Each structure stands twice: as C-alpha cells, then as structure tokens.
A and B are shown apart, each in its own frame.
Chain A
Amino acid sequence: MKTLSTKITAILRLFVALCTLLCGAGVAELYAADAATTAEVSLADGSRAYAEKDYATAVESFERVAALGYADADLYYNLANAYFKLGQNRLSPSGRTFSSGELGRAVLNYRRALRLDPSMEDARYNLDIAVDHTNDTEAIPDSFIVGLWHAIGDRATTNSWAILSVIDFVVLLISLLFYLLSQSIVLRKLTFAVSIVALVLFIFSTAFALSQRAKLQKQDTAVVVCNDTTPVHASPDSASKVIRQPSQGVTIELLRAHGEWSEILFSDGEKGWIRSNVIERV
C-alpha cells in the first residue's frame, strides 16, 4: 500500500515538474517571440525612416535592434548607412559634416557587418567611401599570396566554408568508394581525378573556414569614435608628446590597456597611446 502511494506521489511530482518545465519553456519562448517581434517592428521602422531620409530615427531604430543582442551583418550595414547619412546631412553650425562622431560610428558598424559577413560587397564599397572621409593612412599592403588568400577567404563566411568543407569531404568519400569498388577502368580513372580535386578542395575550404573563424573571433580591432580628431600620445600620459591626431573612423589595433589608456597600433605600423573611451571594439 505504502509503495503504491509513494509511486503515485513520485509520478505526480514528475508530472508537476514536467508541467513547470513545459510552462517555463513556453514563457521563455513567449519572451523570445516578443523580443523578435520588437526587433522586426524596429527594423521595419528603421528601414522606413531611412527611405524617408529621417536618418536620426533610422539610427535610433537600428540601434535598438542591435541592443537586443542580434548580430546580423545586414543590420549593422543598415545602421552604418544610417549613421553615415545622418552625419553627412546634418551640418554643424560651422558647416562641418560628421560633427557628432557619426563617421566613426559608420566605420565601426561597417566593420562589424564585414566581420560577421566578409563577403558583403556593399559594406566593403560603403566602408571604402567612409574611410575616404577619415585621415586613415594606407595600410602596409599584403604580399601577393597573402592578399590572394584574404581575397578568396573573404568571399564567404566561416560557416559557409565549413559546410563546403563537409560537402567536399562527402564527395571525396563517395568518389573514393567508386574508385575502390568499380570494375570499369574509365570510371576508376574519373573517380580518381574527382577524389584528388575533392581532397584539395576539402583541405582549402577547411583552412579558409579556420582563417575566417580567426577573423571573426579577433578581439583587438577597434575604431576611433570621437567628434573630430583625438590626440594619440607617446606614453599613457596626457602631458606626453602628441604623435598623431587620428580623426574619427580610423581603424586601429589594440595592443594592451593601462588604466584609462590603451596602446594601439596604426595600420601603417606606428604605435601610440589613446584614451580608452574614444575607441570602440569592432
């Protein structure tokens, strides 16, 4: 008798636990759905405002979506566009464009979009235009091989390369099967060639996937975000010599932090110290 009651209570407990779990999942799903709809509404608002040339509203809407934790290359691209247009069209009283740091924000968000999707050609084009407005120096050009490697690697995201690598692997195995089992000499020759090609493609796509993953997970790229230009000092001390005055939108590499200062590396190889609050990680 006792065993039966304990069994029943155990079953009941299990049932209750299951119910709460399901309910919890449901509520979580509801929240997620809620966030998703907010994001969709904000996105639609932003796109509409952008089309109506109300760039301030567009920036606000896109920023709201980004703040919800979405990491969408197209979203960052749109946000960057909105910042760029906002800065370009809102002249300061002295007639200066990008007077509130919009250019820096635009470059930052183009870089974020390209980090998520290096193959986004529009973002590359627009970034090029935005960088033309900064005083960023020309980077030391890569060697031909390295340049080619990056150019090919940037045609797709790490996950696309990874999927391609899996497909190549499967093709390799299938053609290997045919090669090993087929009786026909022609078929064997053909599948041998296919296997070699698939093997090479597999190795390269895996390497590209890894290289793109490294780029995606790189933490030390940052963009100068200030109203106009900001001094870069020789040492972490505002009294030290100013070695350069990068404008907003200059892309740099973070080396280390020291108090409220960060050591940075310019694309042309020069090092310096900058206040950490005027740079933002990509």
Chain B
Amino acid sequence: MLRLIRRIVFTIALLLVSIQSWAQVLFTADAPALTAMGSPFRVEFTVDAEPDSRSIAAPSFEGFELLAGPSVSTGHSVQFINGKQSSSYSCTFSYVLLPEREGTFTIGAATIRVDGKEYSTKPFPVEVVAEKGNAKSSGKGASTRNPENQISKDDIIIRLKLSDTDVYKGEAIRASLVLYTRVGIDHIESLEMPPFDDFWSQELTFDNDPSREEYNGKVYETYKIRELLLSPQRSGEIVIPATEMTVVAQIVQNNGRGFDPIFGGRQIYHVTRKLKSDEQKISVKEFPKGAPASFAGAVGRFSLNAKMPEAQIKANSADQISVTISGEGNLKFITAPKFRLPESFELYDTKSVDNIKVTASGTSGSITYTYPFVARSAGRFTIEPVEFTFFNPSTGEYTTLATERFTMEVLDDGKSSGEVVHAGVFTDYGGSMRQLDRDIRFIHNVAVPQRAASVFIFSPLYWLVIVASLAAFVVVYVLMRRRIRLNHNVVARRMRRADKVAVQRLRLAEKYMKEQNRHPFYEEMLRAMWGYIGDKFNIPVSALTKETIREELYRRGVSSADAEQFCQIISRLDEAQYAPVSEDDMSSVYGDAVEVISKIESIIKH
C-alpha cells in the first residue's frame, strides 16, 4: 500500500517536472525595420510568462531619443477548446523612440528574468532615413479641416513591382501589386488588373503582412494586394498597362472641440482615392540561335531521369519506359520528349503525371512521362537515348540532357504473332490504345475541279425520270395486255375452227379416196390429223410429235387408249403413204380417223 502511494506520488512529481520543462518562455522584440527622421516609433518587448518584478533590462537605444517608456501592459486569456483548457499570458514593455540621426542602428538585446531564469531578445537593426520634401503639413490650420486635403497625392500609391524586366521568353517573372500608404486604409473598393495577354500567368499565394518600405524618399506602410507569376509567351517589348484601384482611406481628425464631453474630440473621415499604377515595360529576348533539334521551349534548370524497362521481356508483352523531368522553370509548357523505338515496338499514348508547385521563385516540381509499348517480335533491341534540351536563362545557354543507351532482349513467346498480352501497364489505358505517329495519306489527283453539284433527289429532274418511267410502264403494260388479248382471240378462233378444218380436209380425202388417188389421200389425211391437234391445242407445227400429242390429249382428259389409237392411225397413214402396195384399206383408215376425231371432239367439248 505504502509502495503504491509512493509510486503514485513519484509519477505525479515526474509529470509536473515534465510539464515545467515543456513550458518554454518566449521573449521577443518588435519594431519597424524602417523609419523616417522625425517620426517617433514604438519598440515592444513581449514575454509570454509572468516576469520577475522589475527584472526588465532595456538596451541602450543608441541613436534614438527615448520619448516614453517603459509602459507595461499585461494580458491573460483562458481558452476552452473541445473541453481542453489552455491559457496564455503576455506582458509587453513598450518604449517610444525618436530617431536622432540618419543611418542604420542596432537595438541591442533586452533581458528579462522569469522564475529566476534569464532570457534575452535578439538584437535587430532599424534603418532611419530622411524624407525628401517632408513638408508634412502638420499645421493645424483651417484648411486641414477638409479631410480631402489631409492626404497628399503621394500619400497613397499603387505599384506593380516586377522581379525582372529583361528576361528570355518563357522565363518566369514575379509581379507583385503593392499598395504604399502613409495613411490608414479602411478598405479597397475596386481593383482592375490589366489583362496579361502576352503572358502565361498564375496567381501566387502570399502572406499579406504589412511591412515598411522607403520609396521616393518617404517611408510607407506597404501591403501586397496581388502576386502573380508571369511568363512571357512572345519576344519583343511587352507593355503591361496600368492597374487601376480605388481605395478608401481613413482620416482621424481633431475636430477642434477637443474638450467636448460628448463627442470626444476626434472624428473619423473616409476619403475615396482613385489610384493608377505606372505602365511597365518588359523586354523579352528571343532564344539565341543554334537551338538543338530537341529543344521544344523548355526554359529553366532541369534534370532528366529515365526508368528503363526490364532487360528481358517476352514478345507481345507490354512494358513501359518512364522519363522524369524535374527542376525549376516552365514545366507546364514542356512537351514529352520523343522516343524512337525499334520498328517492331508498338508505342501507345504517352501518359504524363505532374507534380508542379507554383512558388514565388517560379514553377518547380517534376513531370513523369510514361511510354507504354508492346514488343512484337523477338530479338535484341537497342533503345536509342532520348534527348531533352532546355534553355538556361541565367547562363544564356542551351543544355541538352540525354538518357543512356539501353539494350533489351525480347524473348520468343512461343506463339506466332497473336494477341497482345496485356500487362498491368495497360489497365488504365482501357480501350484508348492508339498507334501514335501515324502519317496522313497523300493528296488526290484532281485534273479539273468540280463545281457544287445540285442535289438530285426530289429535284424536278428526279420527278421527271420517275414520272416518265411510270408512264412508260403504263404504256407498255396496256399495249402488252391488248396484244395478249388479241393473241388469245386468234387461238380461240383457231381452236373453234379446228374441227371444221379437219372436216374439210377429211372431205377432200374422201374425194381422193373415191378417185382411188392414193398419194393425195394419205397426204390430206395426215394433214387433217396433225392440223386438228395443232389448231385445237395451239401447238406450233414444229413442236408437233406423237409424244406431245399423247401428252396434250392426256392433259385434256382423253383416255390413253384413244390417244394411242390416234397415234396408231398416224403411224398407219405414214406407213401407207410410202408403201408400194397398200395392205390397208383406205376406207377403213378413213373410218377410224373420223371416228377417233369425233370421239376426242366430244370429250374435249365436255
């Protein structure tokens, strides 16, 4: 138990000691770095812990007359943030000094004791200048009643300060828009910056702490309004037009009723002033002649770093080369250096990743270019060095950097040229694989140029052709129809007349038979038989054979026996016609023929 208590007490003691050691005492001095003759200023020493009483030892303010001081002010604040308590304490000793002479004087170290321990500030210089034409009309005449007159023309000035006015193209210039004032500024009403047409410009972030500066023999409070990084894009003299700005100044004036118990004795006036900066001229130099071929407008100081692919890869597999350009200069305008890969390498879209910071001294950082490729065929290949040239404006010379020559071996992948093996490199290229460095196709031969052709579709000519062909169609159709109808009529008549003609021929044959005129009889009989079939079924004479007769008769419903008989009669007639002696009787043939024809006729009619 006792041990436990002892341990706790020990721990607490240790904790307290450590807290004590964390609490560092800060003792600082603050004063303007620049001041004018005859204007008093204030030097403040601040300590953030309670000092031992009367322990401050001020330095000897050599070159200055001590007007007042030390006046002590203390402040104490307690904060609760997220339930955590923190407290701060400050104690300020102020001295008001008046410069006695011009020059730079050092205000020495002040020392103070806190808890018996001694702390001191760092000595710092203060520059004292004599202001020209310092007719600071501090006369409290009647005219100063008007607050407008209290601010002279050069009490508020706006200036565009350039870090350099004689640069090379692409070299960065820092342009700061600074407000110089000798009176209090309430606010800025409007600001119109000129367009930086011939520059690539970039806004910079800056700390807008006021400072003091001497300009034209006067000391001003200065405030940075804007800060830009400009890099000229063309050579020659570039004029930056004036910046216009409207500010509202604040004048505190004694109103002559100094002892007025109600209104205090001071009055605040607001005075609006239009300001205009001077035009600025920048002469931009063109790059010197004799730029190497690989120069593509990079200006600054850079270094080149390349990461080569594996020394051995398989054919049809993908790998990449990456080149990193890092340094300071117009990184944003750098174009990817060109790689000349062996013929059998397929190069895809170059990808770039940049890490660029814009600072007051220019842009700096790095850009990494990745060149993905697919090696198509096996073999040993040399990758030629890639060159990158930049122009160094500080030396005025071109510097060419090159990667090392690299030899790599592509192994046979065992397949003939097949599909691409997608390695991880290509995952983020998706479908956008495109062959680079394609060239356009050659021009066409045009002997005689053409005028614009009128549009044919639905033009009057088009309709004319359509209507004409429609008309031709109708005419042809009507004519053909009529002819077909006529043709049909002829056939019908012939068919109707078929039996009549046959009867006439048979009669003629009968006459020959009676005269016993054999030859004409058979001839006429054959004609009657053939002609009957030909006319009846509208078959041209040339197409008449026994086969067709059988077919036609069969098609028209005549029995095959009758058809056979018909053909037999024709055969008998054929034979009898050329036989020397007739075995067949003319009358029996005649009778058969008449019988078969009438039979067919009756069948067809039905």
Contacts and interface: CB of A to CB of B under 8 A. Distances in A.
A223 interface: no
Given A43-B446, A126-B441, 9 more contacts: A36-B448, A43-B449, A72-B449, A74-B449, A93-B297, A96-B296, A130-B440, A169-B469, A210-B457
A209 B457 contact: yes
A143 interface: no
A94 B170 contact: yes
A74 B441 CA distance: 13
Contacts of A163: 456
Interface of A: 36, 39-40, 43, 47, 50, 65, 69-72, 74-75, 77-78, 81-82, 84-85, 93-96, 116, 122, 125-126, 129-130, 132, 158-159, 161-163, 165-166, 169-170, 173, 176-177, 180-181, 206, 209-210, 213, 216-217
B453 A159 contact: yes
B451 interface: yes
Nearest to B333: A94
B333 to A, nearest CB: 8
A151 to B, nearest CB: 19
Query: Which 9 A-B pairs rank lowest in CB-CB distance, beginning with the nearest?
Result: A94-B297, A95-B296, A71-B452, A162-B457, A209-B457, A162-B456, A70-B449, A126-B440, A78-B443
A95 B335 contact: yes
B466 A169 contact: yes
A159 B456 contact: yes
Given A177-B473, A177-B476, A77 B296 contact: no
6 contacts: A74-B446, A82-B443, A116-B452, A166-B465, A181-B481, A213-B457
B395 interface: no
B138 interface: no
Contacts of A81: 440-443
Given A93-B286, A173-B469, A75 B446 contact: yes
B450 A71 contact: yes
A78 B287 contact: no
Contact of A166 (B333, B466, B472, B484): B466
Given A95-B297, A162-B462, A169-B466, A74 B440 contact: no
Contacts of B481: 181
A116 B477 CA distance: 40
B54 interface: no
A181 B469 CA distance: 17
A217 B465 CA distance: 23
B173 to A, nearest CB: 17
B456 A158 contact: yes
B153 interface: no
A161 B441 contact: no
B295 interface: yes
A133 to B, nearest CB: 11
A74 to B, nearest CB: 4
Given A158-B457, A210-B458, A173 B473 contact: yes
Contacts of A65: 449
A177 B481 CA distance: 10
B457 A170 contact: no
B455 interface: yes
B445 A47 contact: yes
Q: Is the interface of A mostly helix, strand, loop or mixed?
A: helix
Given A129-B438, A132-B434, A74 B456 contact: no
B361 to A, nearest CB: 22
A70 B440 contact: no
Contacts of B287: 93
B439 A129 contact: yes
B443 A39 contact: no
Interface string B413-448: 000000000000000000000100011111111111
A132 B480 CA distance: 63
Contact of B447 (A43, A82, A94): A43
Contacts of B169: 93-94
B138 to A, nearest CB: 44
Contacts of A162: 455-457, 462
A78 to B, nearest CB: 4
A39 B442 CA distance: 20
B470 interface: yes
A166 B461 CA distance: 11
B232 to A, nearest CB: 11
A84 B439 CA distance: 10
A181 B451 CA distance: 45
Contact of B480 (A39, A77, A177, A206): A177
B115 to A, nearest CB: 59
A210 B455 CA distance: 10
B477 A177 contact: yes
Nearest to A36: B448
Task: Among B333, B439, B440, B441, find the residue whose CB has the most chain A CB atoms closer than 10 A.
Answer: B440
B291 to A, nearest CB: 8
Interface string B571-588: 000000000000000000
Contact of B444 (A122, A130, A213): A122
A181 B483 CA distance: 11
B470 A173 contact: yes
B241 to A, nearest CB: 16
Interface string B275-319: 000000000001100000001110000000000000000000000
A50 B450 CA distance: 20
A166 B442 CA distance: 35
Contacts of B440: 81, 84-85, 125-126, 129-130
A70 B447 CA distance: 13
Contact of B477 (A161, A165, A180): A180
Given A173-B470, A181-B481, A78 B446 contact: yes
Nearest to A128: B438
A165 B456 CA distance: 11
Contact of A125 (B295, B441, B449, B456): B441
Contacts of A173: 469-470, 472-473
Contacts of A96: 296-297, 335
B455 A159 contact: yes
B469 A170 contact: yes
A253 B326 CA distance: 41
A96 B335 CA distance: 9
B447 A181 contact: no
B450 A70 contact: yes
A42 to B, nearest CB: 9
A235 to B, nearest CB: 18
Contacts of B235: 93
A122 B469 contact: no
Given A181-B481, A206-B457, A210-B458, A77 B443 contact: yes
B357 to A, nearest CB: 22
Contacts of A93: 169, 235, 286-287, 297
A73 B442 CA distance: 14
Nearest to A32: B451
Contacts of B452: 71, 116
A47 B477 contact: no
B455 A213 contact: yes
A161 B235 CA distance: 55
A182 B458 CA distance: 32
A43 B446 CA distance: 7
Contacts of A77: 443-444
A130 B170 CA distance: 27
Contacts of B473: 173, 176-177
Interface in B325-370: 333, 335
Nearest to A50: B443
Contacts of B286: 93
